[in-house]
């Protein structure tokens, strides 16, 4: 009998403990690596100071309470990533259609979907699609070789799952140092682009920036390409401002096309040099030539919100990269493809340069130098993750009849560990997660085919 099965049977031997453990699994959303907490909560009457109710983990299975890890990355915890993805969708969508503190009139504001890419650091294998037909990777009629003697072309039509996609044609020609520095400084490049955007709007309409009376709100997500470089997807919304600073529709001359022109001009203008030693020139940090901007309507807004929410739970998985920070001994034991190894080792070695110390490249070597958060927004675009979590928490308490003032509660918690204590517990959680996913799928199908029946259920 396997160890996991023995663990499951031991849980099932006590029906009461089994029920309490299953309840904890449901409460965590069947988290893959929950936190184990020990402690107690004393509910105190604020008027009399009397303890009216006490909760202790001593009565829970194993004497611990499970709390979901809350990790956003799908490769680490699919169930917590699903919650994060739902919150991200609500955050993006509310900025497009209103609600959750955003006026519904924003649907009339100009909105643009902007994609910003990195420049080329060297030729890589890619999948080219033209008119729905896959084309050869890098066709070269007259052949030719690079300075290292390798062919500069590739006549292969790569499949979507081809392992060579994103790999450099010649690893020695690929500029890994520039690529790492670009990833590390991409957040600063975006900051300068966001500052330049209202300046370009003012220039295009022929007024000073102080007299502009409009504001660009945005939400963006960073996505890794197969070659290891970042690109950003952004939703830009143009808001007008009244005399009290409240959000209103902008004047008629501020159109989607004007916002597109301003975004493209800001992307072309934003550039700077990476840190360099004295008497040396840094690497240019600028956007690549592929800057795509298109207007959003009601239908494409829904698709865009889903798209951004999807990539909010991704990290370096598309590159075949790493999920956790590295220690010194990890560098020689990396189990990733050679292209990613070169990225990581380049970041590790660049961290020794004095002028690059502020970038903390060793801390971020596992993410190929990128130091920012994958999902960010301007302050006034829409609601916040904190507000969404608080609303969900209060909804659960209200549904269970437990919504009350908890400011006087006395809490004593301490950390006991992470993950499940036995393989059997981990198996139960994973089985419960798959069962919950299937139940949600069936419920969605019922809502599509028979909305009234789906609501009754």
Tell me the mean pLDDT in the region 411-430.
92
More confident residue, 392 or 455: 392
Most distant pair of Cα atoms in the chain: their distance: 90
Average pLDDT, rounded, for the chain? 90
Q: For residue 333, how many other CB atoms are within 10 A of its CB?
A: 7
- Please report the pLDDT score of residue 316 as a whole number: 83
- Please report the pLDDT score of residue 319 as a whole number: 83
Q: Where do the domains of the chain lie?
A: 3-64+416-456, 78-121+175-377, 122-174
Confidence of residue 272 (pLDDT cuts 50, 70, 90): very high
Confidence of residue 273 (pLDDT cuts 50, 70, 90): very high
Tell me the mean pLDDT in the region 207-218.
91
- Please report the pLDDT score of residue 454 as a whole number: 52
| pLDDT > 90: percent of the chain | 61
Q: What's the rounded Cα separation, in Å, for the pair 153 and 143?
A: 7
Over the stretch 20-75, which tens digit does the pLDDT of each residue have? 999 999 999 999 999 999 999 988 887 787 888 888 999 899 999 999 999 999 98
Over the stretch 58-68, which tens digit does the pLDDT of each residue have? 989 999 999 99
More confident residue, 419 or 399: 419
Over the stretch 314-346, which tens digit does the pLDDT of each residue have? 888 778 778 889 988 889 888 889 999 999 999
pTM: 0.89
Most confident of 243-252, 322-331, 423-432: 423-432
Q: What's the rounded Cα separation, in Å, for the pair 20 and 100?
A: 35
More confident residue, 245 or 137: 137
Asked if 118 and 174 count as a contact pair (C-beta separation under 8 A), the reply is no
Tell me the mean pLDDT in the region 151-177.
90
Q: Give the CA distances from residue 194 to residues 251, 253, 269, 290, in Å, rounded to whole numbers and listed in that order.
A: 21, 21, 11, 18
The residue written with tokens 């004497």 in the block is: 63
More confident residue, 175 or 450: 175
């Amino acid at each position: 009998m396997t160890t996991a099965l023995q663990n499951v049977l031991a849980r099932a031997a006590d029906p009461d403990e089994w029920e309490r453990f299953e309840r904890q699994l449901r409460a965590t959303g069947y988290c893959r690596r929950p936190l184990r907490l020990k402690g107690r909560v004393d509910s105190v009457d604020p008027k009399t100071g009397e303890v009216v109710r006490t909760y202790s983990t001593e009565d829970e299975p194993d004497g611990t309470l499970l709390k979901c890890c809350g990790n956003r990355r799908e490769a680490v915890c699919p169930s917590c990533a699903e919650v994060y993805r739902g919150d991200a969708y609500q955050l993006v969508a509310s900025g497009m259609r209103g609600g959750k503190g955003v006026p519904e009139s924003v649907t009339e504001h100009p909105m643009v979907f902007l994609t910003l890419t990195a420049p080329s650091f060297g030729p890589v294998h890619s999948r080219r699609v033209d008119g729905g037909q896959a084309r050869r990777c890098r066709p070269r009629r007259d052949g030719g070789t690079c300075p290292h003697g390798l062919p500069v072309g590739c006549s292969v039509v790569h499949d979507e799952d081809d392992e060579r996609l994103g790999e450099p044609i010649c690893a020695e020609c690929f500029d890994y140092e520039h690529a790492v520095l670009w990833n590390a400084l991409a957040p600063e490049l975006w900051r300068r682009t966001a500052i330049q955007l209202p300046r370009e709007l003012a220039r295009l309409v022929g007024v000073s920036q102080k007299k502009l009376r409009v504001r660009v709100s945005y939400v963006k997500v960073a996505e890794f390409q197969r070659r290891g470089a970042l690109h950003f997807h952004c939703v830009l919304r143009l808001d007008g401002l009244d005399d009290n600073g409240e959000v209103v529709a902008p004047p008629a001359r501020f159109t989607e096309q004007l916002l597109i022109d301003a975004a493209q001009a800001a992307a072309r203008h934003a550039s700077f040099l990476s840190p360099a030693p004295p008497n040396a020139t840094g690497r240019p940090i600028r956007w690549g030539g592929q800057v795509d901007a298109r207007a959003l309507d009601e239908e494409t807004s829904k698709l865009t919100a889903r798209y951004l929410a999807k990539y909010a739970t991704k990290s370096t998985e598309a590159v075949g990269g790493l999920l956790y920070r590295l220690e010194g001994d990890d560098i020689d034991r990396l189990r990733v493809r050679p292209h990613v190894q070169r990225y990581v080792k380049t970041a590790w070695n660049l961290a020794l340069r004095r002028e690059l110390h502020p970038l903390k490249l060793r801390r971020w070597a596992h993410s190929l130098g990128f130091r920012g958060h994958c999902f960010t927004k301007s302050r006034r675009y829409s609601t916040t993750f904190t507000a969404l979590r608080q609303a969900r928490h209060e909804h659960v308490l209200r549904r269970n009849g437990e919504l009350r003032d908890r400011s006087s509660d006395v809490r004593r918690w301490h950390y006991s560990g992470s993950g499940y204590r036995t393989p059997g517990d981990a198996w139960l959680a994973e089985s419960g997660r798959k069962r919950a996913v299937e139940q949600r799928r069936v419920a969605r199908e019922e809502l599509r085919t028979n909305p009234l029946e789906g609501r009754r259920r």
